[in-house]
Structure 1
């Protein structure tokens, strides 16, 4: 296996990690922004106020996108297993 194969697998793995983490990260970003905007408008400066809504929103995002995430991870794993013979030079 040459450096091209290693770099290709590494790039695919990084892209998969970015795709799988995006729904939760974007959800946490949007909810966090909305809560901080609410805190700025109402001048409520409670640090723990943002934790519970973010945790609930990320949990809902995980429930909604969980099936897709598992499907993407399984597809990636199957692709890697199918490429093993060609990576070993066979």
Structure 2
């Protein structure tokens, strides 16, 4: 395996892994933001922190709930990178 192929493969997997890991927090933030925007529009409350605080709490909750899953995926990726490294480097 050539070094260039290895770097391209690892970079591709790293980008996909980054998207996969960030997806739960982004989706929850989107849903909470939409719900708060609808609530704010119906009640005509124009408080700036009303949209910020619930999203922060929801994202921290999702990160806490999925921390073990995220950690295991990142450890598997690191083990894969380091395990394949000896095949590439002469």
User: 5+ residue gaps in structure 2?
Assistant: none
Residue equivalent to 1:65: 66
Moved over 4 A (4+): none
Query: Could you tell me how far apart the structure 2 residues matched to 1:75 and 1:46 are?
Result: 43
When normalised by structure 1's length, the TM-score is 0.92
Output the aligned Cα RMSD: 1.1
When normalised by structure 2's length, the TM-score is 0.92
Number of equivalent positions: 89
Query: Could you tell me how far apart the structure 2 residues matched to 1:83 and 1:2 are?
Result: 11
User: 5+ residue gaps in structure 1?
Assistant: none
Residue equivalent to 1:5: 6
Superposed CA deviations along residues 26-54 of structure 1, whole A, max 9, x for unmatched, are: 11111001100111111111111111111
Residue equivalent to 2:78: 77
